[in-house]
């Protein structure tokens, strides 16, 4: 080993390596846990090698899912066919996973977050840091909160955000992709030998061969794309269901991007346009989601068959929900409370189509109003 490498490693060594816990084990949770365990295995000076992953226990043909994961190193339920590192351990005990951890990586469905945070309150290290891999917003009638802010407020710990063009099955197969992690310096930062730094983040999540991590500081920008893209993916599904072709899909995506940026500027003044256009968490995630994800498929079926959204969701998703349908309603309610519906013709039209109050065919009507010609002085 060369001197340069030794020096580089020692810079990140510490007396007590960070213990990392992953909260959640769906296909994305398991994929992220795989990445993390691969990295902790390669950097024992920086991280405790063993990574614990909290698994909501299920019975799989008479065996416990946690036993299967720990014995066969495969999440046969949510990520079948992908071998997991042997230093990744599944456990059904949330507090056993979370309490000793220095770094908590949250990766559960949005709707379970509040309950989990209630269970963790007062039971984790006060010095712990967190990364949220959740997509969504915590919308109530008059307020719109980032999920990382909810984690910070409930647990009183500092929290960053991971978001990007990240279809889990592709990353699990180690196809090249990128992500964005937004993490700012905590107010009570303890210095680079005792605290999580951007280097810690990069070392924990970056895989040179297949998962490229860009660390930025724009938490709101990185979060908004992941939340709003699902609504736009529904709209792209609508025009695909109507067979309008690739021009119309490109048009919907650019209109969506414009409304995302405007939403960020208006309600999260720190959010940067650059994050939404030029980072993985922005346009790249939007484009990837509009190429064929769950929300896209639901939108396509609604427009092609004329069936109500609830029926399509029930038929296509086997009891799961299309996040975009929930987000569209939340965003509508929020913008309505702010008296700001007119600035978001695409987001609002998607909601009205889902409610059955508009047909997908009338999407174009909503756009020419906002983009009229300016007069020149003679």
Binding site for a copy of itself (CB under 8 A): 165-167, 170-171, 173, 175-178, 185, 189, 191-192, 197-199, 201-202, 208-210, 212, 214-215, 239, 243-251, 253-254, 257-258, 261, 273, 277-280, 282-285, 287-288, 291-292, 363-364, 367-368, 371, 373-376, 378
The verdict on whether residue 323 carries a ligand-binding annotation is: yes
- To a copy of itself, the closest distance from the beta carbon of 350 in angstroms equals 16
Decide if 374 is catalytic.
no
- The response to whether 28 counts as a known ligand-binding position is yes
Residue with Cβ nearer a copy of itself (66 or 295): 295
> Is 25 one of the annotated binding-site residues?
yes
Pick the closer one to a copy of itself by CB: 121 or 185.
Answer: 185
Residue 225 labeled ligand binder: no
Smallest distance from a copy of itself to CB 62, Å? 35
Minimum separation from the CB atom of position 333 to a copy of itself (A): 26
- Between residues 56 and 367, which has the closer beta carbon with respect to a copy of itself? 367
> Which C-beta is closer to a copy of itself: that of 110 or that of 249?
249
Backbone phi, psi, residue 208, to 5°: -55, -35
Could you tell me the smallest distance in angstroms from the CB atom of residue 265 to a copy of itself? 12
Q: Per the residue annotation, which of 229, 249, 272, 297 is the catalytic one?
A: 229
- The reply to whether 295 sits in an annotated binding site is yes
* Residue whose CB is less far from a copy of itself, 121 or 254: 254
99 is in an annotated binding site: no
Name the binding residues: 24-29, 112, 135, 168, 294-295, 323
Binding annotation for substrate: 135, 294-295
Which residues are catalytically annotated?
Answer: 229
């Amino acid at each position: 080993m060369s001197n340069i490498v030794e020096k580089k490693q020692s810079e990140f060594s510490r007396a007590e390596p960070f213990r990392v816990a992953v909260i959640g084990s769906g296909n994305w949770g398991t994929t992220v846990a795989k990445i993390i365990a691969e990295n902790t295995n390669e950097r024992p000076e920086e991280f405790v090698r063993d990574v614990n992953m909290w698994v909501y226990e299920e019975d799989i043909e008479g065996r416990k899912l946690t036993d299967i994961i720990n014995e066969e190193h495969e999440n046969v339920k949510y990520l079948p066919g992908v071998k997991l590192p042997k230093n990744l351990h599944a456990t059904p005990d949330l507090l056993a996973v979370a309490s000793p951890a220095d770094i908590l990586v949250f990766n559960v469905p949005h709707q379970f977050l509040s309950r989990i945070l209630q269970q963790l309150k007062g039971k984790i290290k006060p010095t712990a840091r967190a990364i949220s891999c959740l997509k969504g917003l915590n919308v109530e009638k008059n307020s719109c909160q980032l999920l990382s802010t909810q984690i910070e407020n409930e647990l009183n710990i500092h929290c960053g955000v991971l978001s990007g063009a990240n279809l889990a099955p592709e990353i699990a197969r180690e196809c090249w992709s990128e992500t964005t992690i937004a993490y700012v310096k905590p107010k009570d930062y303890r210095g680079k030998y005792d605290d999580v730094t951007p280097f810690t983040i990069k070392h924990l999540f970056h895989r040179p061969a297949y998962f490229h991590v860009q660390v930025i500081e724009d938490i709101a920008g990185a979060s908004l794309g992941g939340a709003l893209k699902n609504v736009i993916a529904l709209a792209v599904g609508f025009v695909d269901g109507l067979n309008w072709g690739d021009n119309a899909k490109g048009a919907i995506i650019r209109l969506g991007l414009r409304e995302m940026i405007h939403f960020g500027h208006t309600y999260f003044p720190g959010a940067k346009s650059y994050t939404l256009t030029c980072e993985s968490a922005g346009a790249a995630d939007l484009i990837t989601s509009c190429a064929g994800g769950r929300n896209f498929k639901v939108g396509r079926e609604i427009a092609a068959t004329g069936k109500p959204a609830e029926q399509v969701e029930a038929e296509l998703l086997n009891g799961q929900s299309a996040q975009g349908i929930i987000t569209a309603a939340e965003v509508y309610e929020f913008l309505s409370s702010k008296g700001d519906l007119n600035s978001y013709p695409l987001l609002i039209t998607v909601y009205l189509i889902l409610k059955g109050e508009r047909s997908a065919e009338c999407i174009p009507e909503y756009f020419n109003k906002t983009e009229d010609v300016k007069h020149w002085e003679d």
